[in-house]
């Protein structure tokens, strides 16, 4: 993790522009994606509250949205987002580290999402995702392939 992102993860807000944190959660080589009511696909996470660290926000948001206990792992992407109303936000996407492997049956979805899937990263990339979520999943896919290659070489 870069020093600037490591310090960002553990620095309390408020942030200007406001900051949200999203997580690519992997269990048994599959990525968790959540479907929003509008049909678009999402990653677990949400807004960092004032005086909350992004790491704490990720733990809170993942618990609220999925019922999973998660900590923030390595960063993937920090990107700006401009909403249709012109408001700006930064989105930090990290690899989430669940406390234990999970299955869909372990999830307790909030009202923010209507469906969840655990998919191979390549399959997740075929969904209607924000481009930067797709970039984050692709980065995780590269890490998984590299890890498999390292394990096979031993």
Which segments within 86-129 are labelled E, that is strand? 88-98, 115-119
Partner residues linked to 94 by β-bridges: 23, 75
Is the domain spanning 3-149 CATH 3.90.79.10? The answer is: yes
Q: How far is CA 133 from the centre of its chain?
A: 8
Domain boundaries, the chain: 3-149
List the chain residues with pLDDT less than 70: 1-7, 149-154
Which of these, 21, 10, 9, 36, lies nearest to 89 by C-alpha position?
A: 21
């Amino acid at each position: 993790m870069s020093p600037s992102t490591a310090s960002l993860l553990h620095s309390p807000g408020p942030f200007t522009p406001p900051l949200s944190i999203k997580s690519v959660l992997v269990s048994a080589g599959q990525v968790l994606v959540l479907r929003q009511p509008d049909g678009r696909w999402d990653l677990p996470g949400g807004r960092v509250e004032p005086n909350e660290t992004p790491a704490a926000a990720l733990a809170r948001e993942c618990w609220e949205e999925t019922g999973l206990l998660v900590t923030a792992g390595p960063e993937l992407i920090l990107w700006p987002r401009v909403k249709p109303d012109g408001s700006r936000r930064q989105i930090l996407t990290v690899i989430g580290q669940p406390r234990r492997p999970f299955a869909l049956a372990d999830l307790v979805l909030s009202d923010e999402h209507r469906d969840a899937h655990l998919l191979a990263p390549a399959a997740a990339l075929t969904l209607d995702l924000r481009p930067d979520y797709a970039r984050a999943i692709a980065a995780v896919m590269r890490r998984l392939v590299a890890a498999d290659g390292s394990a096979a070489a031993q």
